[in-house]
């Protein structure tokens, strides 16, 4: 699986950027998103400010919730 954070401008249906965060691992992502088992990380998840606070130091990403919505978008590699 490839795990990307997608950035969508508010009130838009199309992303303007995506970042591969697969390097932090399924186990860590499952912990951040409170998923019981890492192998259940197949859905798209809205990134909340709480998630972003945990993801930012792990990924180096800056989140701007005033202008954008963010989603974790797993895809099969």
pLDDT over 90 at 66, yes or no: yes
What is 2-75's CATH number?
A: 3.10.50.20
Q: Phi, psi (5° rounding) for residue 46?
A: -70, 135
Quick one: pLDDT at residue 13?
85
Task: Judge if pTM exceeds 0.85.
Answer: yes
Q: How many residues does the chain have?
A: 77
Q: Quick one: pLDDT band at residue 76, thresholds 50, 70, 90?
A: confident
User: What are 14-65's pLDDT values in tens digits?
Assistant: 888 999 999 999 899 999 998 886 666 678 899 999 999 999 999 999 999 9
DSSP 52-67: HHHHHHHH-----TTT
């Amino acid at each position: 699986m490839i795990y990307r954070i997608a950035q969508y401008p508010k009130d838009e249906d199309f992303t303007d950027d995506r970042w591969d965060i697969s390097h932090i691992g399924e186990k860590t992502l499952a912990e951040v998103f409170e998923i019981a088992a890492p192998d259940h990380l197949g859905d798209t998840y809205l990134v909340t400010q709480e998630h972003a606070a945990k993801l930012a130091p792990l990924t180096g990403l800056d989140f701007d919730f005033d202008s954008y919505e963010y989603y974790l978008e797993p895809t099969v590699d």
